[in-house]
Amino acid sequence: MFWMHRRTRLSQVFTAILAFTGIVFATHSPASSLSLAAAEDLALSSDPGIQSVRASQQALDELSVAAEQLPDPLLKMGLVSLPMDTFNLGQEAMTQVQLGLVQKFPRGNSRALRSEQFGLKSQGLDKMAQDKALQVLLAVREQFLEVAKHRKLAHINAEAMTAFADVADITQDYYATGRVQQQDVLQAAVELAKVEDRATRIAQDEQQARARLAMWIGEAAYRDLEETWTLMDSGLSADAIKDNLLAHPRVQALQKHISAAETGVNLAKQKYKPEFALDVTYGGRGGTNPDGSARTDLMTFMVLMDVPLFHKNRQDRVVAAQLAESSAAMYNRDDLLRRMSSEVDFHFSTWLKQQERIKLFENSLLPEAAFSSSASFDAYQSSVTDLTTLLRTRITEFDLQLEHARLQAEMLKTRARLRYLEGE
């Protein structure tokens, strides 16, 4: 009687949990299943980080065009040599009403260099956007695999629940006939309750994983996933990946920053050259000459230039600052290459070891555990072994299956990280 009441209560609790989970997924899940490729497309099409970088790149493209143009001319208007006693424009021959234009010509090749620098920075942002897209893909792949892992764990745990429920039913029947003690009935019930509790935890973890995936793809994260594991092969060796790191968008973004800094050095050196300006001024005069003729208007043409003679604490300092910035950019690139090379070694060695472990699971641990569990179940039915041995083999079998599923997911995550380092 005790066992029947306990089984009834556990079943009601578990049924309530499944009903709640079903309500949650029914609220979010359309009928069609979600593939990894579809999730990647959704994330890339709506990621605001990539769009922000692209907008900044467009701004630099516009500045690159503007930087190559001449400065706007200056308009001059004024009065020259106006007599203060009468303010009569025609009283003195020197009095002029002047109207002129001044056009400046920047130093040396600074316009083209500044335009080139903006262009290089724009190219750097383009590479940064590509790297941002790779980071988004990596995040989506990891979270997608996390959801797929929990779906797999839930499937395995459901099989475990069925198996332990069968053991509990058999034990209850044996207790009714006096073949086992009540302690065995309680022990079987406890193991079944532990499996039911694990189902709740797996469902909770899956919901959390879907919420993290939803950050990238929205409500589509709550759709059913494709049942098969998504394989992302990495056909390159660790050395080949490291040899290609210079072509990675993340490294290329820093390389463009280095080129922009080097252009900044050349731009700073243009400050040693003079800046020119052309001044064209028309001077209108009033009044008459002594012979009664009208005074002639005047035209002035002037060329202005500055002379950068004292450059020790100005031009020299600017060039030194640009050289230091260029060096800093190169050090950043070298540091990034070193860290990424270390990541390649770490993830590649991890991937190889995970493959070895999966082979060990599939060729040895899982078949032997399944055989041992089946043999123990037959022996228990024949009263050759006790319940503790049967439960231990059952627990070992399903724990290994759960660990195998986790290992598969982690191996695929490692593959995804390697694909990011490949720059795909």
Per-residue pLDDT of the chain (424 residues; tens, 9 = 90+): 333 444 444 444 444 444 444 434 434 444 478 888 899 999 999 899 999 999 999 999 999 999 999 999 999 999 998 898 888 888 888 888 999 999 999 988 999 999 999 999 999 999 999 999 999 999 999 999 999 999 999 999 999 999 999 999 988 888 888 887 888 899 999 999 999 999 999 999 999 999 999 999 999 999 998 866 666 665 678 899 999 999 999 999 999 999 999 999 999 888 888 889 999 999 998 888 888 888 898 999 999 988 877 777 778 888 899 899 899 999 999 999 999 999 999 999 999 999 999 999 999 999 999 999 999 988 988 888 888 898 999 999 999 999 999 999 999 999 999 999 998 7
Q: How far apart are CA 321 and CA 330, in angstroms?
A: 14
Inter-residue long-range contacts of 298-301, CB under 8 Å, 24+ positions, other chains counted: 298/96, 300/100
Q: Name which of 21, 49, 51, 42 is nearest 214 in CA terms.
A: 42
Residue with tokens 């022990």: 187
Q: How far apart are CA 167 and CA 192, in angstroms?
A: 9
Q: How far apart are CA 248 and CA 255, in angstroms?
A: 10
Secondary element (H or E) of residue 305 = strand 298-305
Strands 96-105 and 276-284, sheet pairing: antiparallel
Per DSSP, 74 falls in state: E
CATH architecture entry for 2-70+106-273+308-422: Up-down Bundle (1.20)
Please provide residue 223's backbone torsions phi and psi, each rounded to the nearest 5 degrees: -80, 165
Cα 357 to chain centroid, rounded = 30
